[in-house]
C-alpha cells in the first residue's frame, strides 16, 4: 500500500535577511491556520466568537464585502473548526483555507520600498494603517497584503504561487539593497 502524502511546508523555513543596513527581512511564517469567513457579521462580533472557541490570538483581515481571513500561527484541529462553525451558525460561514494558502512576513525599515516595487497599493501609514489589508497583485501574483506593524507586513498567497512570490520578493529585496 503506498504511503499517504505527507504535509511539507512550501517554503520550509525560508528566510531572507538583507545585507547590514538594508533593513529588509523576508520570512516564511508558520503554516498555522487560515480561515475564510463569509457573512453578515462585523469584525468585533467575529473577534468575540473567535475568543469563545480559543482563537483570540488570531488576526482578522478584510478580504472583500462581508469576507474576512482569520489567520494564526497554530494549526487548528477539526474540532476547533467545528466549534467555530457552530458559533457562527446563522451569522456567517467558515471554510478552512490553511492547506491552500501560505503567509510570508516582510519587515524592516525598507519594507515599504520593497513592496512598492511590486504593487500599486499606497502603503503610506497615513493611508494604509496597521491592521489594514488589501487584495492586490505583486507582479503577476494575486496576494493579500496586511500591515502588521509600522514597518512590517504579511502577504497571503495561494500555496501554488508561494515559491514564485518568494523568488520575486527576494529579487526585489536584492535590487532594493543596491539602491
Query: Is residue 44's pLDDT more than 60?
Result: yes
35 to each of 62, 73, 105, 158, how far by Cα in Å?
12, 12, 18, 13
Q: Class of the 15-30+101-178 domain? A: alpha beta
Look at the domain 33-96 and name its fold.
Alpha-Beta Plaits (3.30.70)
Higher per-residue pLDDT: 2 or 131: 131
Domain ranges of the chain: 15-30+101-178, 33-96
pLDDT tens for 135-176 read 999 989 999 999 999 999 999 999 999 999 999 998 888 876
Quote the distance between the C-alpha of residue 146 and its chain's center.
Answer: 7
Phi-psi sector, 90: left (phi>0), alpha (psi -120 to 50), beta: left
Cβ 145 vs Cβ 71: under 8 Å: no
Distance from first CA to last CA of the chain, Å, rounded?
A: 55
Taking residues 70-96, report their average pLDDT. 93
Amino acid at each position: 500500500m503506498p504511503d499517504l502524502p505527507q504535509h511539507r511546508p512550501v517554503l520550509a523555513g525560508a528566510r531572507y535577511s538583507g545585507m547590514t543596513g538594508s533593513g529588509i527581512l523576508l520570512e516564511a511564517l508558520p503554516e498555522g491556520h487560515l480561515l475564510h469567513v463569509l457573512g453578515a457579521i462585523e469584525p468585533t462580533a467575529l473577534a468575540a466568537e473567535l475568543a469563545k472557541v480559543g482563537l483570540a490570538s488570531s488576526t482578522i483581515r478584510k478580504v472583500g464585502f462581508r469576507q474576512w481571513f482569520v489567520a494564526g500561527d497554530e494549526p487548528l484541529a477539526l474540532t476547533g473548526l467545528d466549534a467555530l462553525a457552530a458559533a457562527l451558525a446563522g451569522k456567517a460561514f467558515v471554510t478552512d483555507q490553511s492547506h491552500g494558502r501560505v503567509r510570508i512576513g516582510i519587515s524592516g525599515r525598507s519594507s515599504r520600498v520593497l513592496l512598492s516595487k511590486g504593487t500599486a497599493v499606497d502603503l503610506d501609514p497615513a493611508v494604509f494603517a496597521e491592521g489594514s489589508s488589501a487584495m492586490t497583485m505583486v507582479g503577476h501574483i494575486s496576494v493579500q497584503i496586511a500591515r502588521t506593524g509600522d514597518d512590517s507586513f504579511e502577504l497571503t498567497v495561494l500555496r501554488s504561487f508561494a515559491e514564485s512570490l518568494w523568488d520575486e520578493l527576494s529579487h526585489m529585496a536584492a535590487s532594493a539593497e543596491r539602491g
